[in-house]
Amino acid sequence: MSLESSTSYTLEVARVREYIQEMKELQNEPICAYIRDLRALVAHVRQRVQSMPGSSKLFYAIKANSEEHVLQALAPIVHGFEVASLGEIVKVRKISADIPILFGGPGKTEAELLGAIEYGVQLIHVESLHELNKLNDIAEQKGVCVSVLLRVNLSGPFPQATLAMGGRPTQFGIDESLVPQVMEHLKDYPHVQVEGFHFHSLSNNLNAISHVKLLKYYCKIANQWSTEFGLTLRYLNVGGGIGVNYSNLEEQFDWSIFVNGLATLLTSELKSSTTVLFECGRYLTASSGYYATEVLDIKTNHGKTFVIVRGGTHHFRLPVSWQHSHPFEVVEVEAWPHSYDRPQVMEKTITVAGQLCTPKDILASDVAASRVRVGDILLFQYAGAYGWAISHHEFLSHPHPKHIYLDQ
């Protein structure tokens, strides 16, 4: 994270902190809320889009956060949306009737493929030979020709990242060894037009230099197959894969190094007629989202100090899903309207747990804290992606958090 962006983020956090304190003054119930700073979101994404080379386009992968307010804020900025279900297609079309859509994911149903055609999806990412057969049949019935990219599970090698979708056995894409067989059968699919390839092999890469190297590898393979199989390479979808450093918020993916390297790479490795597509999710929305939750209890159990908060993984599943301690700060609340003592810990190592009846309901483990009191609020930062969207909201039937959108 550059000094400029670090300073900007510090100001954004201060703004959210002030809002939470005002919010606490106005309500008696324990605080539990998702807060999205839409102004910060728009500024962050606009800078990324505007700095990209002209032969590339940035799509937002809405699986990271598909809330209507977020989609509305991003629709005028990004080049389009990437979706993974018919339900997500419908969400996008509710926002815009004509914004470009990319549709990926394994196991697409006939209803989803038909819906993709009817809703005007720009490119469908085909994941298997069977899916290609199914899509061609549906397109024939509709009397249309559908543009697709072949998603391929490449062999690699790939750089280190938190999640790997390629270079190993996964449910994603067509095995690289089967590409010649698929290309040989393309003549049997008159209602499908292959426009290029989709390579999304990993997620949450934090190294900008290694990510440029990864894209160079993608370009090499795509060019090789384009020549070998006589395919006009109109699009190369390189997925998302750009990560967020949850363990150290001050050291994030260096976007400026990345786009400078990308500009050089695209000029040297691809024809000007080829457009490179990115479908980023987490990287675009994480930093502008916060999960605020009030401390309900503090106790020591078998020598370990637990801070119990109003909420948990049924609201914010990302930490337990990724098995990390999510970064947070303590927003101190001085008011204590009760006659009984206020529990607190000073200079302790704490574990933050939620209200669920499972020992897995942990948001942060063994974190040093200078002071935490019941009634204070923990503000979890970088919570704008894969938080509420992937959580099991109805488990134990606790109330949902408030959803607050700051746009001024």
Q: Are 146 and 117 in contact, with CB atoms under 8 Å apart? A: yes
Rounded CA-CA distance 54/308 in Å is: 49
Between 202 and 406, name the one with better pLDDT. Answer: 406
What pLDDT is recorded for position 160? 55
Q: How confident is the model at residue 28 (pLDDT cuts 50, 70, 90)?
A: confident
Note if the pTM is more than 0.85: yes
Cβ of 65: how many Cβ atoms within 10 Å?
29
Rounded CA-CA distance 387/256 in Å is: 27
Count of CA atoms in the C-beta half-sphere (13 A) of 169: 0
Between 312 and 5, name the one with better pLDDT. Answer: 312
Domains and CATH numbers, the chain: 3-35+287-406 (2.40.37.10), 100-280 (3.20.20.10)
pLDDT of 268-289, one tens digit each? Answer: 999 999 999 999 999 999 999 9
pLDDT of 224-242, one tens digit each? Answer: 999 999 999 999 999 999 9
- On the question of pLDDT at 2 being above 70, the answer is no
Element housing 153 (H / E): strand 146-153
Q: What share of the chain has pLDDT > 90, as a percent? A: 87
What pLDDT is recorded for position 158? 59
Element housing 197 (H / E): strand 192-198
CA dihedral defined by 279, 283, 285, 288, rounded to 10 degrees? -160
- On the question of pLDDT at 78 being above 60, the answer is yes
pLDDT of 105-146, one tens digit each? Answer: 999 999 999 999 999 999 999 999 999 999 999 999 999 999
Average pLDDT value over all residues in the chain: 93
- The three-class DSSP label of residue 255 is helix
Task: Please say whether the dihedral angle defined by the alpha carbons of residues 59, 63, 65 and 68, taken in this order, is positive or negative.
Answer: positive
Count of CA atoms in the C-beta half-sphere (13 A) of 273: 8
Rounded CA-CA distance 202/21 in Å is: 39
What pLDDT is recorded for position 155? 78
- Which token pair is 380? 């979890």
Active site residue 357: yes
CB-based burial label for 326 (10 Å; 0-12, 13-18, 19+):
buried
Q: Which of 276, 264, 145, 130 is nearest to 199 (CA)?
A: 276
What pLDDT is recorded for position 87? 98
Q: How confident is the model at residue 408 (pLDDT cuts 50, 70, 90)?
A: low
